[in-house]
Structures are given as structure tokens and as C-alpha cells.
Amino acid sequence: MDTMLFTERSLWTMLHGMALGGGALMGLAIALFSLRAMRFSGAPGATADRQALYLTWLIVATAALLWSSVLAGTYVTFPAYRAAPPEGIADLAPYPKALIQSVPGTAWLHSFAMEAKEHVPWIAAMLATAVAFVGLRYRAKLLGDRQLNDMATVLVAICFVLVSFVALLGVLVNKVAPVE
């Protein structure tokens, strides 16, 4: 009998967490570094304009990855996670939420970790979108205007922390009760 190496549900989970979420996390890290490292004062030159263009598209791509991860997580992975097991079933492995809640030592993985993951990523996506918009509209000013740069940096930093936080929680949940 052939056995699938990865189920469709687990592939979606990997896409959500590692490809989309992981890609967004990398983008945020690069954006955070770039916002500081590529700052300039005075009139922008050709180099600054080019750097601002690259940074803008990086932040736009990062926001897109983040939204993709959020939507895939909410509408694909989360339903698979929270599916209710039939009455009387003994093996709860196909039902991650029920499995986690059945053991007192792992119940917090739902009551805290997954509950936090339901909403926090949406806030991160809003922040990333705001910064992406500012990059598109202001371009080189994002690097040349000190105040604008500082504000964008703060928001990207908050976004990075939030995404790191929920990513870690996701790793913990998937380690104990993977969506298969």
C-alpha cells in the first residue's frame, strides 16, 4: 500500500508557516536592517533613489507574503487544526486541537498559543501594509526623512517581533500536534 510522504493538510501547513511566514520574517529582518543602514541626509541622489526603490518593493513583497500567510493560516490550516473529532474516537492525532486539549500539560498550546495566533498576525499584517504604502508613496523620503524613517523602523520592528512570536508558537503547536 502506498503511503503519502506528506498529506495535503501538512503541505498547506508548511506553506503557511515556512514558505509564507518564513519568507515574511526574512523580509522583515532585511527591511529592518535596510531602513537603518540605507538612511541618508540631504538631497537624494540616484543611488538613494535606487535603494529606496528596492526597499519599497521588498516591503511590499513582505506585506504580501504576510497577508498570504495570515489568510492561508486562518482559512486553510486553522480549520484543519480545529476540526472536531467524531464521538468516541480513540486516536485524536488527526484532530490537533482535541489532542492538545486532552492532555493537561499541553492544553496551554491551545488556550494561549493558538488563541494568540488567531489574532496577532492580523495586526502584524496591518502594520506591514502601512509601511509598504508609505514606501510606495514617499520612496526616497522613507530613507531621507529622519522622522518618517524612525516611525517606519518602529513599526517594522514591532511587526518583526509579532511575527517571530507567532511563528515560535506555531512551531511549538506543530511539534506536539502536527496537522497531518
Partner 1 sequence: MASIGRSQEAISNGAAMAAFLAAGIGAFALGVIVILNETGLFAAPALYAPAGGVTGRTTLAAAIWLIGWAVLHRRWRDRQVEARVVFALSLLGIGVGIVLTLPPVWKLF
Q: Which residues bind partner 1 (CB under 8 A)?
A: 74-75, 78-79, 82-83, 111-112, 115-116, 118-120, 122-123, 126-127, 129-131, 133-134, 137-138, 145, 147-148, 151, 154-155, 158, 162
**Given the complex with partner 1, which of 5 and 120 has the nearer CB atom?**
120
Cα–Cα dist 125/71, whole Å: 10
Of 93, 65, 62, give the one whose Cα is nearest residue 80.
93
- State the nearest-atom distance from the C-beta of 84 to partner 1, in Å: 10
Nearer to partner 1, 18 or 151 (CB): 151
Mention every residue, 6+ apart, whose C-beta is less than 8 A from residue 77.
9, 12, 13, 16, 179
| Minimal distance, residue 174 CB to partner 1, in Å | 18
Q: Which residues contact 173 (CB under 8 A, 6 or more apart)?
A: 81, 96, 100, 109, 110, 113, 114, 117
> By C-beta, is 3 or 157 nearer to partner 1?
157
Q: How far is the CB of 2 from partner 1 (least distance, A)?
A: 28
Judge whether 84 and 53 are in contact, CB under 8 Å: no
Rounded to a whole number of angstroms, the minimum distance from the CB of residue 60 to partner 1 is: 13
Residue among 2 and 104 whose Cβ is closer to partner 1: 104
Whichever of 1 and 81 has its CB closer to partner 1, that residue is 81
Output helix, strand, coil percentages for the chain, rounded to the nearest 5.
80, 0, 20
State in angstroms the smallest separation of the CB of 5 from partner 1.
25
